[in-house]
Amino acid sequence: KGETYEGSYQPIIEKTLFKKVQSILKQNSRPRKSRHKHVFPFTDLLKCGECGCSITAQYAKGNGGTYIYYRCSKKKQRCYQGYVREDIMLAELRKKIQSLILPKLWLKEMDKQVSRWQSEGEKNLVAFGSQIETKIEETETKLDKLVNGFLDGLIDKESYLKKKDELIQLKMELSQKRSDFSRKGMLWVEPLRGWLEALAKAEKLASSNDLYAVKSFLGKIGTNRIVKDKKVLLDFVEPFNLILDYGAQGKGSEGCSVGARGECGDKKRGQVAKSTKCPPVWARRDSNP
């Protein structure tokens, strides 16, 4: 597609010969006629909520301009769903993204908590790895002593083989744990941080005019995406669906509003509410609620 890549292999023919052949092929080739295909931002994202067909799009003129309309392709059966103008479709998709917006302070504190978990986890992994290495060394020492005892005639062959089998099995199990430890490590950190980054990105996309960015975002985090009666319906995949449970858009579990700094805005008694249920961000109470 017009992009050049550097190969890491030995070329079969000389570069000058390749260029010469390409030049001749170009001279002998005939221009191909290609049908221009329109590309619409929100196609391949939604299905019709009535018949399940794909959503297609087309241009239409009206009110002194040309607009893009989305509609059901109606390839399976008769469908009564009407056209949806692109600006209305965009507004519906933005609403879905808006439901994921969290206060900035929440995201900041969540990121700090992940950093604390990561630091604690790394320390625990180092300690666990050290314990595994110590146990492997102890097992190897026992094997050496067992072999020496057998060679010196202090242990009969039957007891030697039985104990050796136990130690070999133990060493294999410890080696497998060490391999899993080095391979898996802190694999949970990157997905969790990616989730937080996506939530931070939601605020920008909720007012963005980049239609392809909106489509890409919802295509990754949404499932069962349909449009029916000019309304977009979808389910968020895990863990994005948790945001709805926690009352996105600044609502605590008790229904009270959340202030600009992210704290509970219930000030009926002239002070910020101290209930750990609002907002329900943390699983445990901090030292300074």
pLDDT, mean of residues 183-189: 72
Residue 273 pLDDT greater than 50, yes or no: no
pLDDT at 154: 87
Residue 169 pLDDT greater than 80, yes or no: yes
Residue 283 pLDDT greater than 60, yes or no: no
Average pLDDT along the chain? 80
Residue 109 pLDDT greater than 70, yes or no: yes
pLDDT at 276: 36
Overall residue count recorded for the chain in this entry? 289
Residue 178 pLDDT greater than 70, yes or no: yes
pLDDT at 248: 43
Q: Write down the pTM of the prediction.
A: 0.58
Which range, of 178-182, 195-199, 271-275, averages the lowest pLDDT? 271-275
pLDDT at 4: 65
pLDDT at 32: 61
pLDDT, mean of residues 116-133: 84
Residue 272 pLDDT greater than 80, yes or no: no
Q: What is the pLDDT of residues 69-91, one digit of tens each?
A: 999 999 888 899 999 999 999 99
pLDDT at 175: 82
Instruction: Please state, for a pLDDT cut of 90, what percent of the chain lies above it.
Output: 34
pLDDT, mean of residues 79-104: 92
* pLDDT, greater one: 178 or 263: 178
